[in-house]
């Protein structure tokens, strides 16, 4: 089982390109099932979650070829409508295949995606919306058996919470439904907009993606297209946290500043300066951060829940106390116990984490238990005295491509052992 060995107190410097967005690649790969012909997806990161999605596409009958950061999917011969348990369980986000398979084949049989390290991850909103679109869904023995023999029918859907996955599932399913679907209280994340851009290039008619109300006029068929995935705003926020915890000055290339407009003020509050233009961001951190004061995670355009763990890790060495409120997932503070092993002073109670900044952390042997928690341990390891050994890096590899190489290129002393 490989681990990461980080020697802290190394300043970072230089520049790095930010990888393509995992949470845009995954729904877009699922959406290729709707199309005839070939889709060429550029800037797709090399991640285990992406590999898991490619395996599902191949199982369903698609041809999938990857070369470097380009994935080519041919979906003329989709011939199955079931996804076996072992493939479903590889990544939580495979639930987004439900709407795609159902819309393409009229059936979908897949196992209930389990909960994961950060929460129960219910799919009630997905199922309610697909039923409103006319799907019959039976839930038994951990399996979902869905059918829409007469196709799906457009309708008005109102989400009780702006769920990213539910919005994506509905958008995908509604593309080939008859009539118009409106989603009220839709998620507004940039990954939703990227998915809509891809689908519209395939011939879909989606209006208002990125707004609270999205309208989809059903069409009879879609054709593959080429598409470049947007940069990963969470990887960008993680790199900013690495620079912030080490008092560094770095350049991030290929970021979209407007997607980080809720994260940048958090860093500016601590004394960091952030300048971006035409896709490049210059990030300068003071020697020691001031407190972040209070950070609340919210649906986009609020502070993303996925950035909470890296931000919290940087707050551990700030000069003052920072308060975090995790409003999206019920169990997303698991990294704090490992940070405490490194000398952090953190108290958590339900949604709240109170982080009392310390002068410095010390290296320890720590274990990652979820994707963004793994990133948080790296942020902490980079500023700790002595060495930190991080196990459980399979979680990291779900969302960060060659992260230790990226950080080494910025001067960090980090290696996989």
- Could you say whether residue 93 binds ligand EPZ (CB under 6 A)? yes
Percentages helix, strand, coil for the chain, rounded to the nearest 5?
A: 35, 30, 35
The residue from 44, 62, 79, 116 that is catalytic is: 116
- Could you say whether residue 131 binds ligand EPZ (CB under 6 A)? no
- Could you say whether residue 372 binds ligand EPZ (CB under 6 A)? yes
The distance of closest approach from Cβ of residue 387 to ligand EPZ in the complex, given in angstroms and rounded to an integer, is 27
Q: Toward ligand EPZ, which CB reaches closer, 271 or 300? A: 300
| From 110, 166, 183, 240, residue interacting with ligand EPZ (rule: CB under 6 A) | 166
Q: Toward ligand EPZ, which CB reaches closer, 384 or 406? A: 406
The one segment of 236-244, 301-309, 344-352, 408-416 that binds ligand EPZ by CB under 6 A: 301-309
| From 171, 399, 410, 412, residue interacting with ligand EPZ (rule: CB under 6 A) | 399
| From 123, 229, 251, 312, residue interacting with ligand EPZ (rule: CB under 6 A) | 123
Mapped onto helix, strand or coil, the DSSP state of residue 360 is: coil
- Could you say whether residue 306 binds ligand EPZ (CB under 6 A)? yes
- Could you say whether residue 164 binds ligand EPZ (CB under 6 A)? yes
Report which DSSP code applies to 10.
P
How many CA atoms, within 13 angstroms, populate the side-chain half-sphere of residue 373?
Answer: 24
Mapped onto helix, strand or coil, the DSSP state of residue 250 is: strand
The distance of closest approach from Cβ of residue 411 to ligand EPZ in the complex, given in angstroms and rounded to an integer, is 26
- Could you say whether residue 328 binds ligand EPZ (CB under 6 A)? yes
- Could you say whether residue 28 binds ligand EPZ (CB under 6 A)? no
- Could you say whether residue 186 binds ligand EPZ (CB under 6 A)? no
Torsion of CA 282, 69, 411, 361, to 10 degrees: 90
Q: Which residues contact 308 (CB under 8 A, 6 or more apart)?
A: 295, 297, 324, 326, 332, 372
User: 325, exposed or middle or buried, with CB in 10 Å at 0-12, 13-18, 19+?
Assistant: middle
Q: How many residues bind ligand EPZ (CB under 6 A)?
A: 25
Please say if 202 is a catalytic residue.
no
Each as own residue / partner, the long-range contacts of residues 412-415 (CB below 8 Å, 24 or more positions apart, any chain) are 412/6, 412/10, 412/12, 412/242, 412/382, 413/6, 413/7, 413/10, 414/4, 414/5, 414/6, 414/7, 414/378, 414/381, 414/382, 415/4, 415/5
The one segment of 9-17, 303-311, 351-359, 387-395 that binds ligand EPZ by CB under 6 A: 303-311
- Could you say whether residue 203 binds ligand EPZ (CB under 6 A)? no
- Could you say whether residue 247 binds ligand EPZ (CB under 6 A)? no
Interatomic CA distance for residues 217 and 204, integer angstroms: 8
CA 161 vs. chain centroid, Å, equals 18
- CA angle 310/312/314 to nearest 5° reads 75
| From 4, 6, 16, 26, residue interacting with ligand EPZ (rule: CB under 6 A) | 26
CA distances from 171 to 104, 143, 186, 304 (A): 13, 23, 10, 21
- Could you say whether residue 381 binds ligand EPZ (CB under 6 A)? no
Enclosing H/E stretch for 172: helix 164-175
Looking only at the bridges linking them, the beta strands covering 180-184 and 38-42 are: unpaired
| From 23, 111, 245, 308, residue interacting with ligand EPZ (rule: CB under 6 A) | 23
- Could you say whether residue 274 binds ligand EPZ (CB under 6 A)? no
Q: Which residues contact 89 (CB under 8 A, 6 or more apart)?
A: 111, 113, 114
- Could you say whether residue 126 binds ligand EPZ (CB under 6 A)? yes
- Could you say whether residue 161 binds ligand EPZ (CB under 6 A)? yes
- Could you say whether residue 165 binds ligand EPZ (CB under 6 A)? yes
Which residue's CB atom is positioned nearest to ligand EPZ? Answer: 165
| From 32, 75, 163, 259, residue interacting with ligand EPZ (rule: CB under 6 A) | 163
Q: Toward ligand EPZ, which CB reaches closer, 267 or 400? A: 400
Enclosing H/E stretch for 297: strand 294-297
Q: How many CB atoms lie within 10 A of CB 416?
A: 15
Mapped onto helix, strand or coil, the DSSP state of residue 225 is: coil
Interatomic CA distance for residues 32 and 335, integer angstroms: 35
Q: Which residues contact 114 (CB under 8 A, 6 or more apart)?
A: 89, 92, 121
The distance of closest approach from Cβ of residue 124 to ligand EPZ in the complex, given in angstroms and rounded to an integer, is 5
- Could you say whether residue 185 binds ligand EPZ (CB under 6 A)? no
The one segment of 161-169, 205-213, 242-250, 264-272 that binds ligand EPZ by CB under 6 A: 161-169
Binding stretches for ligand EPZ (CB under 6 A)? 22-23, 26, 93, 119, 121-126, 161, 163-166, 187, 304-306, 328-329, 371-372, 399
Give me the active site residues, please: 116
């Amino acid at each position: 089982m490989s681990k990461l060995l980080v020697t802290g107190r190394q300043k970072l410097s230089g520049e790095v390109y930010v990888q393509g967005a995992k949470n845009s690649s995954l729904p877009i790969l699922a959406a290729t099932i709707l199309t005839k012909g070939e889709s060429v997806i550029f800037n797709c990161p090399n991640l285990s979650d992406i590999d898991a999605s490619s395996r599902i596409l191949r199982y369903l009958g698609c041809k999938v070829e990857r070369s470097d950061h380009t994935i080519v999917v041919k979906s003329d011969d989709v011939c199955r409508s079931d996804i076996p348990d072992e493939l479903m369980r590889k990544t939580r986000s495979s639930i987004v295949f439900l709407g795609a398979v159902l819309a393409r084949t009229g059936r979908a049989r897949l196992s209930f995606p389990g909960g994961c390290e950060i929460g129960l991850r219910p799919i009630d909103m997905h199922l309610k919306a697909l039923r409103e679109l006319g799907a019959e869904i039976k839930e038994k023995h951990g399996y979902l058996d869905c059918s829409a023999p007469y196709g799906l029918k457009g309708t008005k859907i109102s989400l009780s919470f702006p769920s990213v996955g539910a919005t994506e599932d509905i958008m995908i399913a509604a593309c080939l439904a008859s009539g118009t679907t409106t989603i009220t209280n839709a998620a507004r994340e940039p990954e939703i907009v990227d998915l809509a851009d891809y689908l519209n290039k395939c011939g879909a008619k989606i209006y208002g993606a990125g707004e609270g109300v999205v309208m989809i006029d059903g069409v009879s068929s879609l054709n593959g297209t080429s598409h470049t995935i947007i940069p990963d705003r969470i990887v960008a926020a993680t790199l900013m946290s690495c620079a912030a915890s080490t008092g560094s000055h770095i350049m991030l290339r290929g970021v979209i500043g407007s997607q980080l407009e809720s994260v940048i003020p958090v860093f500016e509050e601590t004394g960091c300066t952030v300048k971006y233009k035409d896709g490049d961001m210059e990030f300068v951190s003071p020697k020691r951060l001031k407190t972040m004061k209070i950070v609340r995670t919210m649906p986009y355009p609020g502070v993303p829940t996925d950035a909470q763990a890296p931000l919290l890790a940087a707050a551990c060495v700030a000069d003052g106390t920072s308060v975090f409120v995790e409003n999206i997932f019920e169990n997303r503070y698991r990294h704090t116990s490992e940070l405490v092993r490194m000398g952090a002073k953190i108290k958590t109670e339900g949604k709240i984490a109170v982080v009392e900044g310390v002068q410095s952390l010390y290296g320890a042997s720590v274990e990652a238990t979820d994707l963004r928690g793994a990133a948080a341990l790296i942020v902490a390891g980079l500023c700790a005295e002595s060495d930190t050994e991080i196990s459980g890096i399979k979680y990291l590899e779900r969302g960060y491509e060659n992260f230790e190489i990226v950080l080494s290129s910025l001067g960090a002393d980090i290696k996989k052992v």
